[in-house]
Amino acid sequence: QHPSQMMLDLMTIHEEFGHFDGLSIGIVGDLSHSRVARSDMQMLHKLGATLHFAGPEQWYDSSFDQYGDFITVPELVKQVDVLMLLRVQLERFNADHRQAFSKETYHAKYGITDDLAKTMKPGAIFMHPAPVNRDVELASNLVDGPQSRIFTQMQNGVFMRMAMLEAVINARHFGEE
């Protein structure tokens, strides 16, 4: 689980759309190893969002079926309001897997290319917990593009984590006077 990332993701989505109920949210990438994906999918589901998942099938776990459906990346991109991309965690791969893995192949099959981004719904946004592997999960120019909220997430992360720390500190000292 990654509760602070989940909170800043919720903040970013709420700032953009003002609600969660009825939003279509797609999570793409290494779902099985992502603490962010697990936290986000559980809370977004509780808040009424419709979830879709995509990426390499070996990185999907059937336990996610309770939160949404597993579809292809092109299908997902066309129907979501929020496209949340997960970092490919290259450090998890053993030497044999790394040799068989190509960043270019991942980007072509599961990454968001310029052409694929053109099929997104009007008003749809990109999110990513960072760090981004440019031209792997997302075409480099899209990271800085108008649909990206990646830097907004980072800024919200500072504010959210400051608020969480303040709440913990204040709770610890509550009633000590």
In this prediction, residue 103 carries a pLDDT of 85
pLDDT value of position 37: 94
Confidence at residue 1, expressed as pLDDT on a 0 to 100 scale? 77
Q: Residue 32 has what pLDDT?
A: 86
Return the pLDDT at 100: 63
Q: Structural domain boundaries of the chain?
A: 3-173
Q: How far apart are CA 18 and CA 82, in angstroms?
A: 13
pLDDT attached to residue 171: 86
Question: Do 131 and 90 form a contact (C-beta atoms < 8 A)?
Answer: no
Per-residue pLDDT of the chain (177 residues; tens, 9 = 90+): 788 999 999 999 999 999 999 999 999 998 988 989 999 999 999 999 999 999 999 889 999 999 999 999 999 999 999 999 999 887 766 655 655 678 889 999 999 999 999 999 999 999 999 999 999 999 999 999 999 999 999 999 999 999 999 999 988 766 655
Tell me the pTM.
0.90
CATH topology of domain 3-173: Rossmann fold (3.40.50)
